[in-house]
A and B are shown apart, each in its own frame.
Chain A
Amino acid sequence: MKVLAMVLAGGRGERLYPLTRDRAKPAVAFGGIYRIIDFSLSNCINSDIRRIYVITQYKSISLHRHIQFGWNILSAPLGEFIEIIPAQQRIDEHWYQGTADAIFQNIYTLQQERPDLVLILSGDHIYKMDYQKMIAFHLEKGADLTVAAIRMGREQSREFGVIEVDRDWRISGFEEKPEEPKTIPGDPERILASMGVYVFNMELLVKRLIEDTRSDSTHDFGRDIIPLMIEKDQVFAFDFRQGDRGGVGYWRDVGTIDAYFEVNMDLVSVTPQLNLYDSQWPILTYQFAYPPAKTVWAEDARMGTALNSIISNGCIISGGSVKRSILSPRVMIHSYAEIEDSILLEGVDVGRYAKIRRSIIDKEVQIPQGMEIGFNLDEDAKRFTVTGSGIVVVPKGIRL
């Protein structure tokens, strides 16, 4: 069975602004050393899917470099690849109009590969999933399309595509972000949400994409293709529980700054929901060869400490204190500085006596000596982004 994965990595991630000011959402840093897209790609490799196209469009340089440097791991002579496809504009001269359009516009590429099955993924989600389990289910059911589904509380229906199934897990209805969702049979408080993970029989995918492209449509898998196929084809839902490598139903669409903050902060808890230590399911990323993290100074008032935190390689905590925080590589914390409940991305430098709490500091920002961020949100809002729940985001490139 020849399987080709196509990872949609062109999302603007506007609600993650300013983290997405200079990069596409899949390239946003996560958990110290990762980028969001590392999870989908690692799932592919761990599921032994080794023919992967990553479909990008705008602000893709950061993503390209990450994949070029970190994911150059497959063997082209064996027919394996992770290849980035920027928008070709071979058919339409505009940006992709929707997720389905992004695949249709790459129909020539799909034709070159001629796989039996196409696994369509989003590069925006954090989860650990064995796609082979889903493919086995797809084949066993004789499905034309299988959609991965996760159980959620019904109150979350307005954020997701909600799937209605019969007892056999055949999909009988699909609604995008409904107010009044159809709940799971026998469980009126819970819904099945689409995870944006699809297995298609290739020929039918092409036919339905063409049908869709020639009709009035938003050219989106959730809004257009799935409803069209429910009418005509064999469409099944795959229960994420059957393929969940973490075993705790962990799947996150890091859609907003607040969600991004929470999902990161989960990692510094004693037992995170997302287990990054499973040696049978490693999450691969790109890391420059920095030296190990280091703490220095151990005097009463000048003590370099990190508690309940993730400290990446290349960091030096030199006489400052870090609590419940995530430091990406090469972060420098100078003496008497205090960092709490914060995410500091690569190359951030925090000057002496500076104090930072509940903040996200983007790459390479230099925090001057004595500056306070996250203590007076009215002041912070004058120059930074402050979210509804009071998280301050200091953008890349700012000079303080």
Chain B
Amino acid sequence: MKKKILVVEDEEGLRLLYEEELKAEGYEVITARNGREAIQQLEVEKPDLIILDIVMPVMDGMEALGRILGKERKIPIILNTSYSGYQQEFMSWAADAYLTKSIDLSELKNKVRELLEKR
């Protein structure tokens, strides 16, 4: 069965890019535009992995990360952000990976594969 990935990203262009690229890798992809939508998605969906942006409107990724762990303690989570400073925040340590956004998606894809294999 296809592995399901939840992409949480507020920027539409990036969200579509990740969706296309990950589908091309053979994954099923569902999306959310912010942390609150991600948590709503988790009420009905059971993704195998979450890619989580940090700076988003409505509910940011750091807040969402805590709430997600409150519901699903074991789901692998990749923080995917343009900013490295959030590594100072303790909650970011709870993510399985902290990646800085890049045009080249190979690092992200590798990390996704690695975490799904580990699972």
Distance (Å) between the CB of A101 and the closest chain B CB? 10
Determine if A152 is an interface residue (Cβ-Cβ < 8 Å): no
Q: B residues within 8 A CB of A91?
A: 66-67, 69-70
Say yes or no for B83: interface residue by CB 8 A criterion. no
C-alpha gap A206/B117 in the complex (Å): 26
- Which of chain B's residues have a CB closer than 8 A to the CB of A92? 69-71
Whether a CB of chain A sits under 8 angstroms from the CB of B89 is: yes
A399 within 8 A of B: no
CB distance from A208 to the nearest CB of B (A): 11
- B90 and A111 contact, CB distance less than 8 A: yes
CA distance A91 to B65 in the complex (A): 8
**Nearest-neighbor residue (CB-CB) of B62 within chain A:** A108
Residue from the list A93, A110, A214, A215 in contact with B94, Cβ < 8 A: A214
Interface members, chain B 54-102 (any A CB < 8 Å):
63, 66-67, 69-71, 73-74, 89-91, 93-94
Which residue on chain A has the smallest CB distance to residue B74?
A: A214
**A213 touches which of B63, B67, B73 (Cβ 8 Å):** B73
Expressed in whole angstroms, the Cα–Cα distance for A93 and B73 within the complex equals 13
Q: For the complex, count residues of B whose C-beta is within 8 A of A.
A: 13
The 6 sampled A-B contact pairs (Cβ below 8 Å) are: A91-B67, A92-B70, A92-B71, A108-B90, A213-B69, A215-B74
- Chain B contacts for A108, CB-based, 8 A: 66, 90-91
Query: Which residues 207-221 in A have Cβ within 8 Å of B in the complex?
Result: 207, 210, 213-215
A residues neighboring B (CB under 8 Å): 90-94, 107-108, 110-111, 206-207, 210, 213-215
Q: A111-B89, A210-B93, A210-B94 are in contact. List 17 more A-B contacts (CB 8 A).
A: A90-B63, A90-B66, A92-B70, A93-B70, A94-B70, A107-B66, A107-B90, A107-B91, A108-B90, A108-B91, A111-B91, A213-B69, A213-B73, A213-B94, A214-B69, A214-B94, A215-B73
Q: Mark B14-30, 1 if CB is under 8 A from A, else 0.
A: 00000000000000000
Q: Which of chain A's residues have a CB closer than 8 A to the CB of B69?
A: 91-92, 213-214
Q: How far does the alpha carbon of A264 sit from the alpha carbon of B78 in the complex, in Å? A: 54
Q: How long is the Cα–Cα vector from A338 to B38 in the complex, in angstroms? A: 67
Complex contacts, A210 vs chain B, CB 8 Å: 90, 93-94
A110–B91 Cα distance when bound, in Å, is 11
B window 22-48: CB within 8 A of A: none
Question: For residue B70, which residues in chain A have a CB less than 8 angstroms away from its CB?
Answer: 91-94
List chain B residues, Cβ under 8 A from A94: 70
CA distance A210 to B66 in the complex (A): 11
Which chain B residue has the least Cβ–Cβ distance from A108? Answer: B91
A218 to chain B, nearest CB (A): 13
Question: Across the interface, do B66 and A207 meet the contact criterion of CB distance under 8 Å?
Answer: no
